[in-house]
Amino acid sequence: MINDLWYKNAIIYCLAVGTYMDADGDGVGDFKGLLRRLDYLQGLGISAIWLMPFQVSPHRDDGYDIADYYSVDPRYGTLGDFVEFAHGAKQRGIRVIIDLVVNHTSDAHPWFKQARRDPKSKYRDWYVWSKSKPRGANRGVVFPGVQKSTWSYDREAKAWYFHRFYDFQPDLNTSNPVVQAEILKIMGFWIQQGVSGFRMDAVPFVIATKGANVAKPREQYDMLRRFREFLQWREGEAIVLAEANVLPQTDLEYFGDDGERLHMMFNFQVNQHLFYALATADTRPLAKAMAKTKPRPATAQWGIFLRNHDELDLGRLTPAQRQKVFAAFAPDPGMQLYDRGIRRRLAPMLAGDRRRIEMAYSLMFTLPGTPVLRYGDEIGMGDDLELPERNAARTPMQWSAEPHGGFTKSARPHLPVISGGPYGFEHVNAATQRRFADSLLNWTERIIRMRKEVPEVGWGDFAVIPTREPAVLVMRYAWRNNWVLFVHNLDAEPHEITFSVGLDRESAKSGDELINLLSEDHSRAGKDGKHSLVIEGYGYRWYRVGGLDYLLRRSDIDQE
Ligand code: NOJ
């Protein structure tokens, strides 16, 4: 049954084990700590956890530099602790997906060590070499300002090696069938440990042709089908959620025309235009981005997010649009990163304005796709701009007002917990917020519950309903004869809007009645069939279309 596609309507929560909860008191979060927090996560209502890399690593790129794929880094526990955690999650109905970082390894990986030491090693061809310095060595760096080139000379190998990211992350030669077989083996290993899939790192680079003579890399999309087939054979419910910040015209290459490649991709196009809309209160480019990313196979899904563990990448906006977002949310150059992004958390970007924060999350939960929440966002955590690069937004979870936010009993957490000021753990923490019905934490829990009751967002077909007001976005979803409608005002000022739900007025569900799912403030259309409403600054409304028998119709959905 198509309903079985769990990822079409899930709530994903991403976290790094090392900054979540430290149970053994060494200053680094661990699987035992995470296990203790599963009840909290279940209470929040999430349905899947995405774990950032936790395998053995020198940690020069927060674990995205793996030195052993079949392991758990001892600072986080043992493989046994991982399995205990995975079991605990399963018992609570929470799925686990993990990062799959196979574009590159760490230079400390034994494969690379052998490859550089011995040209005859079987691992030599697992990496990408050149005898002389390739022409484009200074092009294509991902981290401008901190990364100088994409090729570095290795004295031991007496050759140049390719690295799309930092020089300590040599690229795997992913075109090599032996490397591909190893990637499948890694997937198979973790599937066997009970994970429900992978957030695949840097997918466009994984599938790109690589080499000194490659002037313009070509994507080998079919590789994605092979990954998927393998997964599906091993475990039917496993998915790949791809990190692929690509242009809309290639989306279907990634999903596959018939959905035979990736199950999910993060919608970077919508993400960047969403931030433009938040910055300018002009939702038109966002509506365009939604339209451009609309085509997708029925089984495919977008991951919708606000902030993630990286910089907020604005590289797909025009320079003028990007400057507007910088001016609104990162006016200080120290808040910006890599000439294209912002290294802040959402709450401080929105100046801690609760109405605006709620509206932004309400949008995240109702844009077409599956929402992906980042740990700490449910309590409105801030950032620490004193920390280098992306670490600013990677500080430990703030659990309570106890020392170090209750994250650790150690006097020296590996990353400092945010302390003092409006976002310090003294004020912003889960324990305090749990006690207040109106806290952001409890709001998030309620909105997640409501999101689960509108499966139309995950499954349905959407339309942006025109109003004359660019600051207000009205989205309508249809699925199995049910309709929901969402209104968001991205402006600080109230706006009056008039719109028609756009359904056949003769049908039972004419759209005359809009039942507010979050308050008593329902809407009835005028004689002309149009709804008029005044929506307050940063306001949001969730409506179910139809008469008061809508609950009955919901049960129709369940029975179908
Ligand atoms: C994307 C990850 O999100 C980022 O954190 C990392 O630095 C690069 N890929 C390299 O793995």
Q: What mean pLDDT do residues 530-542 have?
A: 97
Nearest CA to ligand 1 atom 2: 201
Q: Which atom of ligand 1 lies at the shortest distance from residue 61's CA?
A: 7
- Quick one: which H or E segment has residue 184? helix 177-192
Ligand 1 mean position, distance from CA 310 (Å): 7
For residue 182, how far is its CA from the centre of ligand 1 (angstroms)? 20
CB count within 10 Å of CB 131 equals 9
Q: What average pLDDT does the segment 260-287 reach?
A: 98
Q: Cβ(435)–Cβ(499) under 8 Å?
A: no
- Any catalytic annotation for residue 73? no
Choose one of 169, 201, 268, 391 to mutate for the ligand 1 pocket test, by most ligand atoms within 8 angstroms of C-beta.
201
- Mean of pLDDT over the chain: 95
- Which two structure tokens, joined as six digits, stand for 243? 């990190």
Tell me which of 22, 30, 81, 243 is the catalytic residue: 243
The model carries a pTM of 0.96
Whether 243 sits among the annotated catalytic residues: the reply is yes
Task: Using the mean position of ligand 1's atoms as its centre, give its distance from the Cα of residue 28 in Å.
Answer: 21
Q: Give the integer Cα–Cα distance in Å for 451 and 547.
A: 20
Q: Which of 22, 30, 81, 201 is catalytic?
A: 201
For ligand 1, atom 4: residue with the closest CA: 310
d(CA 274, CA 349): 14
User: From the CA of 114, how far away is ligand 1's center (Å)?
Assistant: 24
Give the pLDDT confidence of 296-309 residue by residue, as tens digits: 999 999 999 999 99
Which ligand 1 atom is nearest residue 101's CA? 11
Q: How far is the CA of 52 from the centre of ligand 1 (A)?
A: 10
pLDDT over 50 (residue 227): yes
Ligand 1 nearest-atom number relative to CA 165: 10
For ligand 1, atom 10, the nearest C-alpha belongs to 64
Q: How confident is the model at residue 502 (pLDDT cuts 50, 70, 90)?
A: confident
pLDDT digit string, tens, across residues 319-366: 999 999 999 999 999 999 999 999 999 999 999 999 999 999 999 999
CB half-sphere exposure, 244, CA atoms < 13 A: 28
What pLDDT does 520 receive?
94
Per-residue pLDDT band for 548 (boundaries 50, 70, 90) equals very low
Residue 388 has what pLDDT?
A: 96
Taking the centre of ligand 1 as the mean of its atom positions, its distance from the CA of residue 65, in whole angstroms, is: 9
d(CA 554, CA 480): 10
Confidence of residue 4 (pLDDT cuts 50, 70, 90): confident
Tell me: the pLDDT tens digits for 41-97? 999 999 999 999 999 999 999 999 999 999 999 999 999 999 999 999 999 999 999
Q: Is pLDDT larger for residue 546 or for residue 501?
A: 501
**What tokens were used for 518?**
């979050």
Residue 428 has pLDDT above 50, yes or no: yes
SS3 call for 42: helix
Name the residue with the closest Cα to ligand 1, atom 5. Answer: 310
Ligand 1: residues with CB < 6 A are: 61, 64, 101, 165, 201-202, 243, 309-310
Count of CB atoms situated within 10 Å of the CB of 421: 12
Cβ atoms of 71 and 56 closer than 8 Å:
yes
Residue with CA closest to ligand 1 atom 6 = 64
For 144, residues 6+ apart whose C-beta sits below 8 A from its C-beta are 338, 339
- Ligand 1 pocket test, pick from 52, 69, 143, 165 with the greatest ligand atom count within 8 Å of Cβ, gives 165
**For the CA of 308, the nearest atom of ligand 1:** 3
Three-state SS at 183: helix
Task: Give residue 560's pLDDT.
Answer: 47
Work out the pLDDT band at 555, boundaries 50, 70, 90.
very low
% of residues, the chain, pLDDT over 90: 93
The 10s digit of each residue's pLDDT in 450-497 is: 999 999 999 999 999 999 999 999 999 999 889 999 999 999 999 999
pLDDT band at residue 310 using 50, 70 and 90 as cut-offs: very high
Is the per-residue pLDDT at 552 higher than 90?
no
pLDDT at 550 over 60: no
User: How does pLDDT run across 149-176, given as a tens digit for each residue?
Assistant: 999 999 999 999 999 999 999 999 999 9
Pick the residue whose CA is nearest to atom 11 on ligand 1: 64
Query: Per-residue pLDDT tens for 106-123?
Result: 999 999 999 999 999 999
Neighbours of 294 (CB within 10 A): 15
